[in-house]
Structure 1
Amino acid sequence: MRVVVIGASGTIGSAIVAALADRHEVVRASRRGPVAVDIGDPASVERALRTVGEVDAVMCAAAHAPLVPSAELTDERFAAALRDKLIGQATLVTRSLPHLRDGGSVTLTAGTFGEPLAGSGVGALVNEGLKGFVRAVAPELPRGIRVNVVSPGWVRETLDAHDSTPAAEVARAYVECVEGRTSGRNIVPGRVGGA
């Protein structure tokens, strides 16, 4: 399969590329990668997809929402998180359709917090929005195209936390989305059967 990984130079993206490279043709895309793309910029996404051409799967591991105490949330911070992580990824699904082969897939990235965390309000809003979007849009996609979302918690390589998951294990969830047949699912790495 030919798979585009957006965010290929990041911690999770690099692990996804490593997990896929033995069995698939991987096209690396990132802000400063071989295929330049900014998930929050619709024109950039369109250019990248046109450059790449026809593919079997599009994966996005590029988006994030900052941890910001609720008292410090401004309209600008809300707008940036919504534009980049929520709207950027949701519209990636529709923008990818003309470039996906029949039976292809799109895999997005949300996130999960094991328990309430100070400053996680905007992240929770965006993550839950993505999960709901994927559930709702999956039955509507044409030509057998599938969509799923992976919701990693803390990734071991980015944080010294006792409840973290190794990036390689997180990457396996993305591989499952590309190589499997599920659609409309929220996959939580480390949990059997997703969430």
Structure 2
Amino acid sequence: MKILLIGANGEIGKILKPEFAKKHEIISAGRTSGDFNVNITDVNSIEKLFQQIGKIDACICVAGDCYTGELLSLDEEKLNIGIQNKLLGQINLVLIGQKYLNDNGSFTLTSGKMGDKPVKNNSAKAIVNGGINSFILAASLELERGIRINAISPAKVADIPIHELTNAYFKSVESTVNGEIIKVNY
């Protein structure tokens, strides 16, 4: 498969890229590194990326910043970090990217444990991750041409055995699951 990995130089991307490269053609993209540069907060940058790459079989996104801090410090500006970057960035990848995905292709987005099991000082992450999960559930009902969409919802990456994390992403890309929030190491 020809797979676009966005955030390939990040914490999760560095784990996934070599594993997926064993079996698939990987095209890496990131804000400042990779085969292509993309700013997922900018729809024009996303469109340009897909135009440059052309047709693909799968898109995995492990990119997106989000604010961490106590509720009393949270304001619209801090909340918008995650909304604009992680939530809308990943949604726009799907909205734009669906026309570049081959029939029966797949999107794999990344949410996180805070969407289901928030802890103190993570209200922004809870909102953003919950939004991603809800988008997955709804979008899976409407994507056409057999295109599937799932989210991987990991706990803190440092606490997850690498094989559990990679298996979750492989499940999303290589199996037939659709509309699933695949939880890893809760």
The answer to whether TM tops 0.5 is yes
Q: CA deviation at 1:66?
A: 2.1
1:129 to 122, 128, 131: 131
Distance 2:54 2:118 in 1: 41
**CA drift at 1:168:** 4.2
With normalisation by structure 2, the TM-score equals 0.94
Q: Tell me the TM-score normalized by structure 1.
A: 0.89
Q: Aligned partners of 1:40 and 1:185: how far apart in 2? A: 24
Alignment of 1:45-64 (within 5 A): 45-64=46-65
Structure 1 runs (4+) deviating above 3 angstroms are: 113-116
Deviation, 1:127, is: 0.6
| Alignment of structure 1 residues 100-119 onto 2, 5 Å | 100-113=101-114, 115-119=117-121
CA RMSD of aligned residues (A): 1.4
The equivalent of 1:174 in structure 2 is 169
Taking the aligned partners of 1:101 and 1:54, their CA distance within structure 2 comes to 6
1:51: Cα distance to partner? 1.2
Deviations 1:2-56 (A, max 9, x none): 0000000112011111221111000011112220011112111111111111000
- Residue 166 (structure 1) shift: 3.0
Once residues 43 and 168 of structure 1 are traced to their aligned partners in structure 2, the CA distance between those partners, rounded to angstroms, is 35
Q: Secondary structure at the match of 1:118?
A: coil
Q: Give CA deviations for 1:51-102 in whole Å, capped at 9, x if unaligned.
A: 1110000010011312121111121111221111111111211111111000
1:21–1:39 distance in 2 versus 1, CA, 3 Å: same
Percent same amino acid at aligned positions? 35
- Is residue 189 of structure 1 aligned with residue 180 of structure 2? no
Partner of residue 17, structure 2 = 17
Structure 1: distance between partners of 2:58 and 2:118: 33
One-letter code of the match for 2:27?
V
Q: Is the 8 A contact 2:118 2:126 kept in 1?
A: no
CA distance in 2, matches of 1:13, 1:49: 19
The one-letter amino acid paired with 2:184 is P
Q: 1:166 to 1:186 in 2, by over 3 A?
A: same
Residue matched to 1:160:
none
Q: Which residue of 1 aligns with 2:26?
A: 26
Give unpaired runs (5+ residues) of structure 2: none
